[in-house]
Amino acid sequence: MKLTILGSGTCVPYTERGSSGYALETPGARVLLDCGSGTTWKLARAGISYLDIDHIFLSHLHPDHTGDLVPFLFATKYAFGSPYGSKREKPLSLWGGRGFLEFFDALKNAYKDWTLPEGLSVGELGEGERDFGGFTLRAARVPHIESSLAYRIEAEGKTLAYSGDTDYSDALIGLARDADALIIECALPDGESKRSGHLTPGEVIEIANRSGARRIIVTHLYPVCDETGAIEKIRKGVRAEVTEARDLLEIEI
């Protein structure tokens, strides 16, 4: 599996890091995890055709994880002039957690048919495992907002887990058990900066070590994390390999 980090940041405008988005390429499918603002443009920067994405899995319905959904769908619907061809040739499915169908209806009401490319299907995921043909995906609810899910994807004998946004979570530890890689959020520093619904470096260390994941990829970094050396702190405490997520970084899982 090849992972491309499209956005390693948050809602904060920051030249170093865009909003959340991750492209995962397996032999059988092209997957997007989250679609924050700039994701569609970053796909182009990474040389990945947006017309080739099979599934989009949203971790939750905050704007920094969903803001590029409409631009993505509009570009897909109206592909005229695209370097990747003028028409999408295969189905596209969108998945989110609790409330996603209502959320998508609201987008449809606002943007009419422009959000509805041919071959689109939309669904809500609950907890549990599902086979997508070429990969399996397991979802678990995590403590952030009502729609929040973390994911575990397995393909070709490799496993990738993604925390989405979350507070400390035993469900996430279970989901990331012995994974080849865990993409994990680290929003803000320890101490007074701790915000409910997000992880600090100290909590990332504990989750990483308890999960047994072989590699962790630290992401969703507010600028203050870069300013206060969050990654260095995590590196000192985690037994697994630690990678700092950077926009457009490619990682072989």
Q: Which residue ranges make up the site for Zn ion (CB under 5 A)?
A: 62, 64, 165
Q: Which is nearer to Zn ion, 120 or 171 (CB)?
A: 171
Strands (E), 36-90: 55-57
For residues 89 and 126, is the Cβ–Cβ distance under 8 A? no
Q: Which is nearer to Zn ion, 54 or 165 (CB)?
A: 165
User: What distance in Å separates the CA atoms of residue 17 and residue 234, rounded to the nearest whole number?
Assistant: 19
Q: Which is nearer to Zn ion, 22 or 135 (CB)?
A: 22
Q: Which is nearer to Zn ion, 17 or 215 (CB)?
A: 17
Least CB distance to Zn ion at residue 187 (A): 7
Structure tokens at 85: 């061809």
Least CB distance to Zn ion at residue 127 (A): 19
Least CB distance to Zn ion at residue 145 (A): 6
Least CB distance to Zn ion at residue 66 (A): 10
Q: At what angle do helices 69-77 and 39-46 cross, to 10 degrees?
A: 60
Least CB distance to Zn ion at residue 231 (A): 18
User: What distance in Å separates the CA atoms of residue 88 and residue 95, rounded to the nearest whole number?
Assistant: 19
Q: Which is nearer to Zn ion, 4 or 37 (CB)?
A: 37
| H helix or E strand, kind and range, residue 100 | helix 100-111
CA distances from 75 to 22, 51, 120, 199 (A): 18, 9, 13, 34
